[in-house]
Chains A and B, each alone.
Chain A
Amino acid sequence: MEVDLFIPCFIDQLYPDTGFNLVKILEKLGIQVHYNTKQTCCGQMAFNSGYWDEALSLGEKFIKDFSTGRIIVGPSASCIGMVKNHYPKLFHNTSHHNTYKEIQSNIFEISDFLVNHLHITNLGARFPHKVTVHDSCSALREYGLTHEVRTLLANVKDIEIVEMNESDTCCGFGGTFSVKNEAISTSMAEQKVKNALETGAEFIVSTESSCLLHIEAYIKKHNLPIKTIHIVDILASGWEL
């Protein structure tokens, strides 16, 4: 099997290791990974902020960069949710109609891809730590993930999973919301981290790097005894190719 890798812009720039861990996982499964080095951004930040002309321009580029007909896999349900849910608002009945439709049916968030399409729930990972899951809004409500993250984590060796209160409540990031309404956004992060700390977990794990970016920003500023980690980084732990 061959797949195109979609590394969202902020993962490309801020969390490149997560990208490489994704490659490691896919290669372990015998999947040949292609990466178009011209790719940048799906346009979500502009779209969510009301700048639909800018989003359209970036979306056109995205469609061009990913029109290979191959399956596309990425480590972010919010960016892929953008393609799945909002591209119709930009490209329905345009000259890009057929291409965007094809991309929509080919594109998968990694935990969905592993669990529901490859039917793989155990990657032989080992992670001897106590973790708590943050359900990202986009994964849950935009993309439609339900049990996938916990199913994958349950098969990780030596991991201890503890549930936090309000695990499916927003961390407060919301793209440009985080700078336009700094107080509300930070207040939501504070409540999220508080709930996580109460579990005594060492890590907050999520499928969504943008949530983790936000939660980490609060944790680091306040030197709190908890870390953030992407599920891909856990799944790639404890084994080598």
Chain B
Amino acid sequence: MSQQKEQFLIDTERIAFDENHRKVIKFNISKYDLAVDKGKRQYADLALARSRAARIKRNVVNDLEGYLKEFEFNFQKNGGQIIWAVDDKEAVNAVLEIARKHQVKTVVKSKSMVSEEIDLNPHLQAYGVETLETDLGEYIVQLADERPYHIVTPAMHKSKEDIAQLYHQKFNTPEKFTPEEITYYTRIKLREKFVKADMGITGGNFLISDIGGIAVTENEGNGVLSMSFPKVHVAIVGIEKIIPSMRDLDLFWSILSTHGTGQKITVYNTVITGPRKSDELDGPENMYLILLDNGRTNLANQEHQKLALSCIRCGACLNVCPVYKSIGGHAYETTYSGPIGSVITPHLRGMEEYNHLSFASSLCGKCTEECPVNIPLHELLLYNRRDAVKAGFTDKSFNLVMKAYKIAMNKRWIIETFSPNVKNIGISLTFSNSWGPRRKLPVFQTSFTERWKKMHNR
């Protein structure tokens, strides 16, 4: 058993029955559900919009190299600099190198899951660069010294009371600080940081191939400030984030916001095409784009699972997933949690270490039903499971159970050799541990087949 799996089983045992966790998540996701139901009504034909978006992303996944070349050409034409990072180390080193070159002391960051993926903040801190998250949710999570709980709403696991308490501890604000007061307080605190910061780091929601632009979607304006105030802007984006054309944005912006937060469109949508030009009023003097692979090419090489590279990171599959709602985002111990995380993490970080996530699903299919780009998530989990078994990464004892099951089910007489009582003893010996102390084992009866045979004298 991999160390990661062992930890996962311990963590899920702890959290799955935590009533308080259940209550907070249920409440927070119910708010989201209401908004998304309403948001979806803006579409006359949501299924059509989804299939259009899906087809566009499929085309990209099938010719990722071609699109990346086109994007690179167009982006560089505008004066931006591209750094290709094969893995997290290369990406981190690239950021540190840029920080060194421009003598960066402070960094403001807008929300970026890719920066979580490469574990950027600790590296920058260790390098002596003060790094501040400026998305409210990320800021809260950073204050609490935690990881994002959710790819879109990082502090979803916290109630407004939890957050007021956290601010009280850190800043000695009143214990009953309201969400409005918290937001205003944070805004004042952050504003001065934006003005002083030497470098802004953002992610990117889409890489627009035909114009060589990066599209950033956000609700707080902190993204725009991170890109425009500091003299240096670094965007770190996964190579799969390509969309072919500027003309695709109307579709993708709205389908992303509808499924991410239920908004018709998010509050701030920015397209940037390089550093400030001489005739422009604002913008950074230097702009770098780090294009991160970090296992994505490996995923692109999987015949079926490569579809997961279509993901636009809206988080909808997390919000509908009963497993995610039961264990929360932290138990996964991955950057990307929920159904999409369980599909891609084994390919990004190693099948041997992370295949257990592909098995941690009841395959209920809600994720597939919800995905705005029609990724058959639960089916891709099946392919992951197949690959894990083939590679010999699953428990040996379980392999034996499956072999025995195959042999028994292939020969009716084997099943009939044993009486129900013997089967009950057998199942209790083999499964009572794994079935656990909180459920009763089912009871074998005289089988339908035997009774049928008797009735029909055969």
Chain A residues packing against B (C-beta within 8 Å): 7, 9-17, 19-20, 35, 37-41, 43, 45-52, 54, 57-58, 61, 86, 137, 140-142, 169-170, 172-191, 213-214, 216-218, 220-222
Q: Known contacts A13-B423, A48-B385, A169-B322; decide if A213 and B442 are in contact (CB<8 Å).
A: yes
The residues of A that contact B441 with a CB separation of less than 8 Å are 217
Is residue B444 within 8 Å, beta carbon to beta carbon, of the partner chain? Answer: yes
Given A45-B405, A183-B17, A189 and B439 touching (CB < 8 A)?
Answer: yes
Contact of A186 with B438 at beta-carbon distance under 8 Å, contacts A14-B443, A14-B444, A37-B452 already known = yes
The secondary structure that dominates the B interface is helix
Chain A residues with CB under 8 Å of B323's CB are 184, 188
The reply to whether B12 and A221 form a contact with Cβ atoms under 8 Å apart is no
B360 interface hit (Cβ, 8 Å): yes
**Chain A residues within an 8 Å CB radius of B387:** 50
CB of B402 closer than 8 Å to a CB of A:
yes
Nearest chain A residue, comparing its CB with the CB of B369: A141
- A-contacting 9-mer, from B80-88, B121-129, B281-289, B407-415: B407-415
Please, how many angstroms separate the alpha-carbon atoms of A86 and B384 in the complex? 15
Question: B92 at the A/B interface (Cβ < 8 Å)?
Answer: no
Residues in B232-280 with C-beta less than 8 Å from chain A:
none
Whether A172 lies near B322 (C-beta < 8 A) is yes
Quick check: A184 and B326 within 8 Å, CB to CB? yes
Q: Of A7, A46, A51, A170, which one neighbours B362 at CB under 8 angstroms?
A: A170
Q: Nearest CB to that of A186 among chain B residues?
A: B438
Residues of B within 8 A of A (CB-CB), count: 61
Q: Interface segment, B58-66, B99-107, B147-155, B429-437?
A: B429-437
Assess whether A177 is in contact with B362, with CB atoms less than 8 Å apart: yes
In the complex the two chains form, is A12's CB within 8 Å of B363's CB? no
Whether B405 and A221, one on each chain, are in contact in the complex, defined by CB atoms closer than 8 angstroms, is: no
Please, which residue of chain A has its CB at the minimum distance from the CB of B430? A179
Assess A141 versus B415: contact at CB under 8 Å? Given A35-B452, A183-B436. Answer: no
CA gap between A163 and B58 in the complex, in Å: 40
* A187:B388 contact, CB within 8 angstroms: no
Q: How far is the CA of A17 from the CA of B447 in the complex (A)?
A: 9
Residue of B nearest to A17 (CB): B445
Q: Complex Cα distance A47/B359, Å?
A: 12
